[in-house]
Chain A
Amino acid sequence: MSQKALGEFEEIVILIVAILNGDAYSVGIITEIEERLNRNVSLGAIQTVLKRLEKKGLLKSEFGDATNERGGKRKRLYEVTAAGQKILDQTRVQRNSLWEAIPRLSFNLH
């Protein structure tokens, strides 16, 4: 996937990171996706996408707090970067223009 375009799952992950607003970490993102989209996601899949988006410069991360339920290990908290915000806006504009381009008749074909 090029830096100019987002994959479907990448887009979902960036949107969830934006929704969680500073509290986004892998397990939290998985829980949010399961609750909001009723979709099962593995830890491997989410970690892969998070690392890829960070490499592309669309997300940035820093270590958060360690908790007992995590065996004293710190979370990695993710945030959307300015580039990430820009690409989300572009994607939204493109989607909206496509929706607006559909003739009204298309929905009454059958």
Chain B
Amino acid sequence: MNQKKNKPSRIAMMIFNWYCHPDFREEIEGDLLERFNIYSLKYGYTKANRLFIKEVISLFRPSIVGNIYHLTNTGTMEITNQNKRLITILATALAILLIPLIAMIFTNDVSWKIFDFLVAGVLLIGTGLTLEFILRKIKTLRYRILLGILLFVLLFLIWVELAVGVFGTPFAGS
């Protein structure tokens, strides 16, 4: 409890660390903590924390933020971008599943049952999640491309086997 009372708002500090230019981060973070300690002794924790948040807000200005490109290079933004990519991958998988569904409305040549949609869904979303896993864990471009191609070849082979049965496995389609 005492340890918590010695520290200012973590959220405000995270926001400051996000927007502050890396060149100024150390000195200004130290200034903020020193000011917080002065305020704590003078006014107590609650008011000190309120004044700390006010200072974090007042520091949000061009001279402190500097070049905005550093804002996209932080860990926070990387996580946001990764989540955006995951949503895009999953949305693409669902969009592909919609193709046979829409085709069934216009033609009798396409006739998928619920089980077919289920299997295709598992296959597409599984591929999407594996792709996202590869992109998150593998940082080398060469290996990313290699594993990506391998994944799509595997998806293609399984899809073909389920649809028309090229290899004659027990789950081959006809």
- State the A residues within 8 Å of B (CB): 25-27, 30, 42-45, 47-48, 51-52, 63, 66-67, 69-76
What residues of B have a CB within 8 angstroms of the CB of A30 in the complex? 35
Work out how many contacts link A and B, with CB atoms closer than 8 A.
Answer: 66
Can you report 14 residue pairs joining A to B where beta carbons are below 8 Å apart?
A26-B28, A27-B31, A43-B59, A47-B59, A47-B63, A48-B61, A51-B63, A51-B64, A63-B26, A71-B29, A71-B30, A71-B33, A74-B26, A75-B31
Judge whether A43 and B28 touch: CB under 8 Å: yes
Judge whether A27 and B35 touch: CB under 8 Å: yes
| B34 interface hit (Cβ, 8 Å) | yes
What residues of B have a CB within 8 angstroms of the CB of A69 in the complex? 33-34, 37
- State the B residues within 8 Å of A (CB): 24, 26-35, 37-38, 55, 58-61, 63-64
Measured CA separation A27–B30 after assembly (Å): 10
Judge whether B55 and A44 touch: CB under 8 Å: yes
Measured CA separation A70–B58 after assembly (Å): 19
Q: For chain B, what secondary structure do more than half of its interface residues adopt (helix, strand, loop), or is it mixed?
A: helix
Given A42-B55, A42-B58, A74-B26: A48 in contact with B31 (beta carbons within 8 A)? no
What residues of B have a CB within 8 angstroms of the CB of A43 in the complex? 28, 31-32, 35, 55, 58-59
Judge whether B63 and A73 touch: CB under 8 Å: no
Given A43-B35, A52-B63: A73 in contact with B55 (beta carbons within 8 A)? no
Closest to B21 in A: A51
